Structure 1
Amino acid sequence: MNEGVPQSVLVVDDSADIHQLVSARLRSEGVRLLHAHNAEEGLGLALQHRPDLILLDLEMPGVDGMTLCRQLLEDPMLSDLPVIFLTGTIDVETKVQAFELGAVDYVTKPFDAIELKARVRSALRTKRYQDLLTTKAQIDVLTGLWNRGYLDNRLAAELSHMARQGSPVSLIMLDIDHFKSINDRHGHPFGDLVIQRIAEILGRLSRDSDIVCRYGGEEFAIILRNTPANGALAIAERLREAIAATPLSQGRSRVRATASFGIAGSDQFDDPSQLSPETLLKAADEALYGAKADGRNRVGLGHTQG
């Protein structure tokens, strides 16, 4: 969640009149509206934009709203999205089923303008608070990067998306070379400075779509969306060169810090659709230790695996 960026609401309904009505009712709320006219289009827009709220018609022809609710719940990247369902008729059984599938509220058609605004405001306010708490819990304090918990969750979500869409995912693991010696010789505060400086380089030189995390200690990990292993290799080489060329000083001493990298990509596996986060992490970690065994300050590329 970015402060100052309008929250987004995805409207999924087969009626053009409902889309016009919702747009008119929410025009004063300062939200960004996305429009889908069937469940398939709604799922695609949800995956592309990850809206802050979904207004979902339950009685659509073809794939109905209840089925779309189930698809959202089963997708790790979408399961936390709040849903307010729109319906012309409401009964206890339908309400219970919708709430069990992740809906947070409902509005009956024809809906009152004041009621719709109030329910949307409440859902978006709750979503903003949840995003703030979640973000704070997933940020590494020393570097400001995402932490290991976020890495684990996001890697699982990206592999799930990859299995569905067929787009490659790569993982870069890197470790600061001889970091214990840096700490022993120059002290832990300087070691923290080295970690922070390298984190800054990774964040600055990585692409906007890359997910940079502190894995733990002096290790980092980067998830690269829509990137095969060879593409990740080129990015890792650029990062390695930048780290090695960055001057560090401790008093009058000049310190050269380098890092070793390991690469693993989903395209290196015979059946990427069955790839687990643990398997990809293990492959990247093995490539990293191969780079260290070959002399450090280099990039190791994992081998094709079954």
Structure 2
Amino acid sequence: MRILVADANPLIARLLRVKLESWGHTVDVEHTGDRAWALAQERTYRMAIMDWGLEGIDTGRLCRQIRDLNRHRYCFIMFFSEHSDHENLMAAFEAGADDYLLKPLNPQLLKRRIKTGKRVLNLEEELRLLSSYDQVTGLISYRTFVAFFRTFLAVAVRNDLPGSVIFLSVENYRQILETNGHLAATKIMVELSRALPVAMRASDMVAKVDDNSFCVLLPQTPEENLGIVTTNIERATSAISVNAAGQEVRPDIAISVVTYPVEQQSAEEILIESNRRSLPQSSPAAE
């Protein structure tokens, strides 16, 4: 796969190029954030490996800009740094990093981390090939979501960085279906499927769970940081309404959450309904 390497130290960059090319990858190297950003706009990379201390455009901003490109194919971003403190780790992941390594780089550890990244990318490719999307909303299916979640769970366990999965249920879905018809209920779900991604970060993942519910994967987002997420959801969904035979219909949304990892629980076990905790949220009901 094509990998972008960005490091101010030419020796480290050269060593990375030699190793990565020996493992069969195509490698482009730059030494400043500005030049790395120029390349990222010109070419599509499946992976980027970057020093945390780049000059010019700093690495955190560079990561956010790569995410904002909104390419159809995901770029797995790995940082490396001499600093192992929690503040630097959180700054990297908040910027959108998928993984983090310490200097000096251990070639065997790097190789294993790249394999983990490739598993994430392979899952995305399988998603593209299998077209595992909900036919109504265009979001990924819950089955596909769980496959992705297994990989994100493994990363969270390895780095001791908790994340969350939010579930959103349209509580008055059956009422809308019975009173206003299938078309109105479908329109409500389609409008929600459009609004939810707008409220999320580029690294978050929205999926359709079943007829009346969605879920959102929030990597590196512990429960205490969910307040801003629920606020963004309320802002994005509060104006949603559809017209059904002259009647304005609005969704009544309930939000629940699970956090991960959970000791000795698999991805499927973590996500079961009995593990979900309700979060307060006010939303207008259907009229």
The verdict on a shared fold, with TM-score over 0.5 as the criterion, is yes
Which TM-score applies when normalising by structure 1? 0.55
Cα offsets for 1:63-105 (capped at 9, x unmatched): 666x7656655x4x533768xxxxxxxxxxxxxxxxxxxxxxx
Q: Is residue 79 of structure 1 aligned with residue 119 of structure 2? A: yes
- The 5-angstrom pairing of residues 161-176 of structure 1 reads 161-176=155-170
Say if 2:166 and 2:216, in contact at 8 Å, map to a contact too: yes
What residue number does 1:280 align with? 270
The one-letter code of the counterpart of 2:245 is G
Q: Match of 1:157?
A: 151
* Residue 138 (structure 1) aligned with residue 112 (structure 2): no
Q: Give the Cα–Cα distance (whole angstroms) in 2 for the partners of residues 34 and 172 of structure 1.
A: 28
Greater helix percent: which structure? 1
Matches within 5 A, 1:1-306: 8-9=2-3, 16=14, 19=17, 32=45, 44=78, 48=97, 73=115, 75=116, 77-79=117-119, 131=125, 134=128, 137-240=131-234, 242-266=236-260, 272=262, 274-282=264-272, 286-288=276-278, 297=283
How far apart are 1:198 and its partner, in Å? Answer: 1.0
Which structure 2 residue ranges, 5 or more long, are not aligned? Answer: 6-10, 22-26, 30-38, 51-76, 81-92, 100-104
Residue aligning to 2:74: none
Which residue identity is paired with 1:174? L
Whether the 8 Å CA contact 1:240–1:258 is kept in 2: the answer is no
CA RMSD, Structure 1 to Structure 2 (Å): 4.4
CA, structure 1 residues 175+135, in 2 after alignment: closer, same or farther (shift >3 Å)?
farther
1:138 offset after TM fit, Å? 2.4
8 Å contact 1:243–1:258 — kept in the other structure? no
Kindly indicate whether the alpha-carbon contact (under 8 Å) linking 2:188 and 2:251 is maintained by their aligned counterparts in 1.
yes
How far 1:234 sits from its partner (Å)?
A: 3.4
**Which has the larger displacement, 190-199 or 241-250?**
241-250
Q: Give a deviation string over 1:4-37, Cα, whole Å, max 9, x none.
A: xxx73368x989389489659xx9x96658569x
> Which residue of structure 2 aligns with residue 90 of structure 1?
none
Query: Secondary structure at the residue paired with 2:209?
Result: strand
The structure number with the bigger radius of gyration is 1
Q: Is the 8 A contact 2:127 2:144 kept in 1?
A: no
Report the Cα offset of residue 180 of structure 1. Answer: 1.0
Deviation at 1:281, TM superposition (A): 1.3
Distance between the aligned counterparts of 1:224 and 1:250, measured in 2? 34
Per the normalisation by structure 2, the TM-score is: 0.59
Distance 1:159 1:184 in 2: 39
1:227-261 deviation digits (Å, cap 9, x = unpaired)? 11122243124314543432321121111221101
Q: How far apart in 2 are the matches of 1:18 and 1:211? A: 31
**Relative to structure 1, is the Cα distance of residues 138 and 232 closer, same or farther in structure 2, using a 3 angstrom cutoff?**
farther
After superposition, the Cα gap between the structure-2 partners of 1:283 and 1:164, relative to the gap in structure 1 and judged at 3 Å, is: farther
Letter of the 1:169 partner, please give it. Answer: G
> Hey, what does 1:53 align to over in structure 2?
none
- The percentage of aligned residue pairs carrying the same residue is 18
- Unmatched 5+ stretches in structure 1: 1-6, 37-42, 51-61, 83-126, 299-306
